């Protein structure tokens, strides 16, 4: 940092009388951790890229964002944006539309053809990535940026994993998915489709790999014992959604019952609606206990999906094979559903089970030292399994299963793989203290309600797979980025400089922030009170 400029004072000036000796506490500048950054499972520096976006430098914002997450156009559509729930702006009016701006940047990059910069140097190491889903391709991207050769083995015919086979087109258009996947391949990542790994150690030896990252998605549907007649048509949700990628769409019939309460159940029901069916979701608990995200449930209800709450399926396929029997449940004193014995028969051409998914761990047979628990691979804090050089993430490890978490796993694993290959260990930078709302001074900010993204009209939502939610235009994205409060980090508003009664704040120049001249600071704390973003705090004076 440059030295502060010298201040020469006239001996007769009142400012010549230093006040530093009056202090018991002194102000210090600091950086606090924005709650949005702290919440993001992918580890994005959200405040950092919003800073570039609000100045209109969209490419700089995109490049800052993609240091951590190579899929902004995808994530701007499918991320559940828990960062917005943590946003301090929500205590003022409404949270910043972080996800909306992320989508705008992602779409802008696709439109302008922005590419990733190639690695500065090659390491000479070769890493195998198993699975071309969000976690695998995130790891491949980060490893390639670090200079490693990367080969991805994908058992299926296309990239994307569960983003392609588990998220319908009305949420994630395939041209967006394909474009962001291709950009990673253009970086020099090798992809081998239709290549299933049955024996990991043999594959590593045959390919001469120095390390491996396992990111096999949860493609195996869980089953439940439901008595069913021979003529009953019972399908699993993953198979239904996967078949939507083929030219021949699934034949579900008109009356479709979906059993389950997660996001996959909602996706299948909304897909069935677009195929012309009358979908009904059967769920054993109440809406507030439904694991599906509430906004998706609401959208499904708007589109005409019906839900039978507090119900469970007892039998599928009656005498004619086109009915199911459900039992009504009721909540006990502890809020747990209990059977009532009250039965009801519903007409159903197809029953779709959406009860969760498991991972195929067959490729790990014969790998010593691994610990498998509850269908997942146990990893240490570095994402490494019990076998040195084999790392895992995404659906394969114990964690919440969503795209953002998977991307974060890929990034974290890549950093640790890189360190391991170089004979060291990765040490993440220590986190700053959290920029809690109480540290801010929000009276400086006027109300600026969040921009609402456009929605497709309900008729087209019910009958087509057109994208349901639209994006922001440039003016709205710019407005939304400028709603950021810069929680915990100085943005050089000059408030401290202007309010200091002792002229103890020194401006260091654009981008260099400020410095205190403690000879003239008497520790009054006015600068702390007037800092909008909470980037100053008072600390006890050393004695």
Coil, strand or helix: which one is 195? coil
Mean pLDDT of 207-236: 87
- 411, burial (CB in 10 Å: exposed 0-12, middle 13-18, buried 19+): buried
Q: Facing residues of 536 across strands?
A: 29
For 222-355, which CATH class? alpha beta
Residue 189: is its pLDDT beyond 60?
yes
Measured CA to CA, the distance from residue 42 to residue 70 in angstroms comes to 10
Please name the residue ranges forming H helices in 275-402: 294-302
pLDDT of residue 90: 93
Cα-based distances in Å from 183 to 73, 110, 113: 12, 10, 9
Residues 6+ apart with CB under 8 A from 353: 221, 222, 223, 224, 226, 234, 235, 236, 237, 259, 260
Residue 231: is its pLDDT beyond 90?
no
Mean pLDDT of 504-515: 95
305-331 in b/e form (b: 16+ CB < 10 A) is: bebbbbbbbebbbbeeebbbbbbbbee
- CATH topology identical between 14-31+490-540 and 222-355: no
pLDDT of residue 543: 58
Triad 216, 220, 223: Cα angle to 5°: 155
Per-residue pLDDT tens digits for 357-374? 999 999 999 999 999 999
Q: Under a CB-based contact definition with an 8 Å cutoff, are residues 264 and 238 in contact?
A: yes
pLDDT of residue 289: 92
Residue 480: is its pLDDT beyond 80?
yes
Residues 6+ apart with CB under 8 A from 265: 237, 258, 259, 281, 283, 292, 354
Q: Under a CB-based contact definition with an 8 Å cutoff, are residues 348 and 277 in contact?
A: no
Measured CA to CA, the distance from residue 526 to residue 316 in angstroms comes to 71
Cα-based distances in Å from 63 to 70, 130, 216, 336, 437: 9, 26, 28, 48, 29
Mean pLDDT of 208-217: 97
pLDDT of residue 172: 97
DSSP for 85-143, written as a single string: HH-GGGGTSS---HHHHHHHHHHHHHHHT--PPPPSS--S-EEEEE--SHHHHHHHHHH
pLDDT band at 281 (very low <50, low <70, confident <90, very high): very high
Closest CA to 504 of 1, 17, 2, 11: 17
Residue 514: is its pLDDT beyond 50?
yes
Q: Indicate the DSSP class of residue 297.
A: H
Cα-based distances in Å from 264 to 240, 280, 296, 339: 10, 14, 10, 25
pTM: 0.91
Measured CA to CA, the distance from residue 492 to residue 511 in angstroms comes to 8
Mean pLDDT of 290-317: 94
How many CB atoms are closer than 10 A to CB 238?
24
| CATH number at 35-115+435-481 | 1.10.1060.10
Strands 25-29 and 536-540: antiparallel
What are the boundaries of each domain within the chain? Answer: 14-31+490-540, 35-115+435-481, 126-220+358-421, 222-355
Measured CA to CA, the distance from residue 461 to residue 62 in angstroms comes to 30
Residues 6+ apart with CB under 8 A from 427: none
pLDDT band at 5 (very low <50, low <70, confident <90, very high): very low
Tokens of 321: 């094979």
Q: Under a CB-based contact definition with an 8 Å cutoff, are residues 217 and 394 in contact?
A: yes
Residues 6+ apart with CB under 8 A from 303: 270, 273, 458, 461, 462
Per-residue pLDDT tens digits for 20-44? 677 889 999 999 999 999 999 999 9
Q: Does domain 14-31+490-540 have CATH number 3.30.70.20?
A: yes
Mean pLDDT of 293-304: 95
Residue 469: is its pLDDT beyond 50?
yes
Residue 268: is its pLDDT beyond 80?
yes
CATH of 126-220+358-421, one of 3.30.450.20, 3.30.70.2190, 3.30.43.10, 3.50.50.60: 3.50.50.60
Per-residue pLDDT tens digits for 140-170? 999 999 999 999 999 999 999 999 999 999 9
Q: Under a CB-based contact definition with an 8 Å cutoff, are residues 71 and 450 in contact?
A: no
pLDDT band at 457 (very low <50, low <70, confident <90, very high): very high
Mean pLDDT of 109-122: 97
Residue 129: is its pLDDT beyond 70?
yes
Please provide residue 302's backbone torsions phi and psi, each rounded to the nearest 5 degrees: -60, -35
DSSP for 523-543, written as a single string: ---HHHHH-TT--EEEEEPP-
Higher pLDDT, 64 or 335: 64
Q: Facing residues of 153 across strands?
A: 130, 192
Per-residue pLDDT tens digits for 398-407? 999 999 999 9
pLDDT of residue 319: 60
Per-residue pLDDT tens digits for 312-338? 999 887 666 688 999 999 999 998 999
- Half-sphere exposure (CA, 13 Å, Cβ side) for 43? 16
Please provide residue 371's backbone torsions phi and psi, each rounded to the nearest 5 degrees: -115, 120
DSSP for 225-292, written as a single string: ---B-TT--EEEHHHHHHHTTSSS-----SEEEEE--SHHHHHHHHHHHHTT-EEEEE-SS-GGG-SS
pLDDT of residue 473: 95
Does residue 321 come out as left (phi exceeding 0), alpha (psi in the -120 to 50 range) or beta?
A: left
pLDDT band at 97 (very low <50, low <70, confident <90, very high): very high
């Amino acid at each position: 940092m440059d030295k502060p400029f010298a201040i020469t004072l006239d001996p007769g000036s009142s400012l010549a009388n230093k006040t530093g000796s009056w202090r018991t506490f002194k102000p210090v500048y600091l950086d606090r951790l924005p709650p949005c950054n702290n919440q993001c499972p992918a580890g994005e520096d959200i405040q950092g890229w919003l800073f570039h976006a609000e100045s209109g430098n969209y490419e700089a914002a995109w490049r800052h964002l993609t240091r951590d997450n190579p899929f902004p156009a995808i994530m701007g559509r499918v991320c559940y944006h828990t960062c917005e729930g943590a946003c301090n702006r929500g205590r003022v009016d409404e949270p910043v539309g972080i996800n909306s701006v992320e989508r705008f940047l992602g779409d802008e990059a696709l439109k302008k053809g922005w590419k990733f910069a190639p690695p500065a140097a090659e390491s000479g190491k070769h890493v195998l990535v198993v699975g071309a889903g969000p976690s695998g391709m995130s790891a491949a991207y980060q490893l390639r940026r670090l200079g490693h050769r990367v080969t991805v083995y994908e058992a299926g015919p296309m990239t994307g994993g569960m983003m392609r086979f588990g998220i319908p087109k009305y949420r994630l258009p395939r041209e967006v998915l394909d474009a962001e996947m291709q950009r990673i391949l253009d970086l020099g990542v090798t992809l081998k489709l239709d290549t299933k790994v049955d024996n990991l150690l043999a594959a590593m030896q045959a390919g001469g790999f120095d390390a491996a990252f396992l990111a096999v998605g949860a493609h195996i549907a869980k089953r439940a014992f439901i008595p069913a007649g021979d003529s009953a048509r019972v399908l699993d949700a993953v198979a239904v959604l996967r078949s939507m990628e083929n030219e021949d769409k699934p034949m579900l019939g008109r009356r479709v019952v979906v059993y389950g309460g997660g996001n996959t159940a909602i996706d299948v029901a909304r897909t069935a609606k677009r195929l012309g069916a009358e979908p009904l979701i059967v769920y054993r608990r109440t809406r507030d206990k439904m694991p599906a995200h509430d906004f998706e449930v609401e959208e499904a209800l708007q589109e005409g999906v019906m839900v039978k709450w507090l119900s469970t399926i007892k039998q599928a396929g009656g005498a004619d094979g086109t009915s199911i029997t459900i039992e009504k449940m009721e909540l006990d004193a502890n809020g747990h559903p209990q059977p009532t014995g009250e039965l009801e028969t519903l007409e159903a051409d197809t029953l779709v089970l959406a009860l969760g998914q498991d991972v195929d761990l067959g490729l790990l047979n014969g790998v010593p030292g691994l610990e498998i628990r509850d269908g997942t691979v146990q990893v240490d804090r570095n994402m490494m399994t019990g076998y040195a050089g084999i790392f895992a993430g995404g659906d394969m490890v114990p964690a919440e299963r969503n795209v953002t978490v998977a991307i974060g796993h890929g990034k974290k694993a890549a950093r640790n793989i890189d360190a391991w290959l170089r004979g060291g260990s990765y040490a993440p930078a220590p986190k700053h203290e959290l920029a809690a709302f109480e540290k801010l001074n929000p009276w400086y900010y006027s109300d600026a309600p969040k921009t609402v993204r456009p929605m497709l009209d309900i008729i087209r939502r019910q009958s087509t797979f057109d994208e349901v939610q639209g994006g922001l235009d440039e003016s709205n994205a710019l407005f939304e980025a400028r709603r950021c409060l810069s929680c915990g980090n100085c943005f050089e508003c000059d408030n401290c400089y202007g309010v200091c009664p002792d002229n103890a704040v020194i401006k260091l120049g654009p981008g260099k922030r400020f410095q205190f001249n403690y000879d003239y600071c008497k520790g009054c704390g006015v600068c702390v009170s007037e800092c909008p973003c909470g980037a100053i705090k008072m600390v006890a004076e050393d004695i």
